Amino acid sequence: MILDTFEALAMVSAIFAILILGTTHLRTNLSFYSLHTMAIAAVTAWIATITHEDHLYLVAAGVFLTKSWGIPWYLNGVIRKINVGTDGGAFIAAPLSMHLGALMLGLSFMISQQIPGLIGEPDSRLGSTAAMSILFTGVLLMLTRRAAISQIVGFLVIENGIYLFAVTQTHGMPLMIEMGLLLEVLVAVMVAGLLLFNIKKSFEHIDVSQLTELKD
């Protein structure tokens, strides 16, 4: 029953990540990202319950406070200040992107069955399946969206996929390493937010496809 709950939480996180692909509204994307990361924090807390690794409760709290609440709050503030509400330059329509994300989830399940040494029975590796699906979803988001804010969200989703894979397969790293990684992500997002201000000020847009040309 414990394993079933853990896998269900991981899959909920993967589904919320796929829902990010289904809209180009930036605030909605951040809401789905917040819920997606909240589910990952719940996975971490549940693994702490299973393994009795008490430091994972602190990690789960850190993930929730920084990545599920802090980062979306900060990026929403950036969106408000640069006055950009949607990613109008998506290379692929949002509904098609979401369907591709669902296909990636199925592909991730098939891949997880073929990798030896993963935790879980060969016919039930939903933790690693969810992690790979999240990773692929983040890559797809970065490849199909033009707005710089969407690129940041894609990077964050990729990072969550890597983190979920690590925590499900190793049951967590030492506390100082986990907190150091959270701090690095937080600093990276803050720097990216400052860059967005400068891009908007210099080019009057945040379309990354147009940043290949130098401005006089």
Question: Confidence class of residue 69 from pLDDT cuts 50, 70 and 90?
Answer: very high
Domain containing 28: what range?
2-208
In a domain, 191, yes or no: yes
Mean pLDDT on 139-166: 87
Most confident of 12-21, 82-91, 147-156, 188-197: 12-21
pLDDT in tens, 18-66: 999 988 888 999 999 999 999 999 999 998 888 888 888 999 999 999 9
Average pLDDT of the chain to the nearest whole number: 80
Q: What is the pLDDT of residue 152?
A: 86
61-66 long-range contacts (CB < 8 A, ≥24 apart) are 62/178, 62/179, 62/182, 63/37, 63/163, 63/182, 64/37, 64/38, 66/182, 66/185, 66/186
In a domain, 213, yes or no: no
Domain count, the chain: 1
